[in-house]
Amino acid sequence: MSKEAIVQVRDLVTYYGKRQILKGVNLDIYRGEILVILGRSGCGKSTLLRHLIGLLKPTSGQILIKGQDITTMNEDEMREILKKIGMLFQGAALFNSMTVGENVALPLREHTQLEDSTIQIMTRIKLDLVGLSGFENFKPSQLSGGMKKRAGLARALAMDPEILFCDEPSAGLDPVVAMGIDQLILKLKNAFKMTIVVVTHELASVFTIADRIAMLHEGEIIFQGTPEEIKKSEHPVVQQFLNREADDVEPDREKYLSSLVKP
């Protein structure tokens, strides 16, 4: 695999109010790989993702996509970058007022001068790709959770992006459907050489798809490496996560009882 970094994150620091969410994140994402950003709920992984697609601006630090810093871009420059990026949201985020077909066609209608008939064909191709042929005229509310994700993926792929970001692609899906999504993601990488960044905490899916894993903990990257390497890692937090151990909460009965008596 060529080691060309398509996304570079440099010393990314961000605050929500006074709380520091990201504490100097450094991360390279290479062309053609599937990078999984792993971490517990609330570790800042969704925040990191939202920075990568330009929805949030960091307090300090840089995010370079194909060598251009998106943190200092104006709206017009950002629009050009966004055309090369696809994003699959956790809840698919389909526009409920439009049909599935219109959802997929929207980016094409807005960003290209293509004829309507061409757009229709392209929409159909994208829906075929995710296994939703024939669902163009359904409303999102008529689809199941897994189908919504697929439709969201078709929309993310509409502009043939170079980089695809996925936020918890298998969240809320049964294992069979989740596996289907994982395989779809692998297919995209192999067939289209797409760079894919997946944020998740589902271990099963991580080891199916990941080329490389970056683990985020309390706003810092504590591990980067291949799936084999993470299994050998001796970092306690990584170990705890992989072995699914609960946090130690010492049940101090004395203290608990006395806290009930004395408010």
Partner 1 sequence: MGRIQRFLSALGQPTIYALVHLHRLNRLGMETLRWIFIEPFRGRKIRWRSVIEQSVRVGWQSIPIVGIISFFVGLILAMQSAYQLEPFGATIYVANLVAVSLTRELGPLLTAIIITGRFGSAIAAEIGTMKVGEEIDALKTMGLNPVSFLVVPRFLALIIMLPALTLISDFLGILGAYLFSISALDISSIRFINQTINALVLRDIVTGLIKSGVFAVIIASIGSYEGFIVEGGAEGVGKSTTNSVVVSIFLIITADVVFTALFYSTL
**Positions in the binding site for partner 1 (CB under 8 A):** 50, 53-55, 75, 78-80, 82-83, 85, 87, 89-91, 93-97, 106-107, 110-111, 155
- Residue 233 Cβ, how far from partner 1 at the closest point, in Å? 33
First to last CA, the chain: 62
CB of 64 or CB of 106, closer to partner 1:
106
Q: How far is CA 37 from CA 30, 135, 235, in A?
A: 14, 32, 16
Q: How many other CB atoms are there within 10 angstroms of residue 212's CB atom?
A: 18
CB of 98 or CB of 237, closer to partner 1:
98
- Residue 140 Cβ, how far from partner 1 at the closest point, in Å? 10
Rounded distance between C-alpha atoms, residue 117 and residue 161, angstroms: 21
Q: Is 228 exposed, middle or buried (0-12, 13-18, 19+ CB in 10 A)?
A: exposed
| Phi then psi dihedrals of residue 212, to 5 deg | -140, 150
- Residue 89 Cβ, how far from partner 1 at the closest point, in Å? 5
- Residue 54 Cβ, how far from partner 1 at the closest point, in Å? 7
What letter does residue 248 receive in the DSSP assignment?
Answer: P
CB of 48 or CB of 87, closer to partner 1:
87
CB of 47 or CB of 208, closer to partner 1:
47
CB of 11 or CB of 80, closer to partner 1:
80
- Residue 98 Cβ, how far from partner 1 at the closest point, in Å? 10
